Amino acid sequence: MSQRRWGQLIICLGVVLIGAYALSGIGPTAYCFLPFSSGVMVDVTNDGSAPVSNLEISFTGGEKTLAKLDPGSNHQFRVKPTGDSGVFLSFVDVLGNSHREEVRVYLEKNYQGTIDVKIDQSGKIAWKDEITACPN
């Protein structure tokens, strides 16, 4: 078989596999096995009109920090809990007031997905999550 024919065969096989994946309904589970999917991505957006400082995401087994988040900006943190975990967000507003709130989600070390967190003008947070438990 010629190299060109092999190339065509490989492309066809790839198309078939992608189609089977799309139709199978195993999308979120299959996502767990991709090498870049480890942990949960937390995307924090400052929807206020002033910067926040000393931003910290804490969870079982670690914390992620950022010195300053400007208004209208966002920052992504990849968190990888080492066990059962809640998520807490803390920061200091422009007036020097400290804020600490629980992002009411539950994580374990094999969870994957995203949490989108928004900090509003008054320092309150809102979030939405899309988290999947992956097989061990």
At 76-118, the pLDDT tens digits run 999 999 999 999 999 999 999 999 999 999 999 889 999 999 9
Instruction: Identify whether residues 22 and 55 lie together within a single domain.
Output: no
What is the pLDDT at residue 15?
46
CATH code at 96? 2.60.40.2890
Instruction: Identify whether residues 75 and 122 lie together within a single domain.
Output: yes
How many folded domains does the chain comprise?
Answer: 2
Q: Which residue segment(s) compose the domain that 45 sits in?
A: 39-133
Q: How far apart are CA 91 and CA 11, in angstroms?
A: 49
Instruction: Identify whether residues 115 and 48 lie together within a single domain.
Output: yes
Q: How far apart are CA 13 and CA 36, in angstroms?
A: 23
Instruction: Identify whether residues 53 and 93 lie together within a single domain.
Output: yes
Instruction: Identify whether residues 27 and 44 lie together within a single domain.
Output: no
Q: How far apart are CA 19 and CA 25, in angstroms?
A: 11
* Per-residue model confidence as pLDDT tens digits over 27-43: 544 556 555 557 999 99
Instruction: Identify whether residues 19 and 44 lie together within a single domain.
Output: no
Measured CA angle at 99 (ends 97, 102), to 5 deg? 175
Instruction: Identify whether residues 18 and 58 lie together within a single domain.
Output: no
Instruction: Identify whether residues 2 and 68 lie together within a single domain.
Output: no
Instruction: Identify whether residues 85 and 21 lie together within a single domain.
Output: no
C-alpha distances out from residue 48 to 70, 89, 93, 114, 118, Å = 9, 16, 10, 22, 9
- Read off the tokens for 44: 């924090």
Instruction: Identify whether residues 51 and 20 lie together within a single domain.
Output: no
Instruction: Identify whether residues 46 and 109 lie together within a single domain.
Output: yes
pTM here? 0.73
C-alpha distances out from residue 82 to 18, 68, 129, Å = 33, 27, 19
C-alpha distances out from residue 127 to 43, 82, 119, 120, Å = 10, 22, 9, 11
Instruction: Identify whether residues 43 and 78 lie together within a single domain.
Output: yes
Q: DSSP character for 135?
A: P
% of the chain surpassing 70 pLDDT = 72
Three-state DSSP class for residue 3? helix
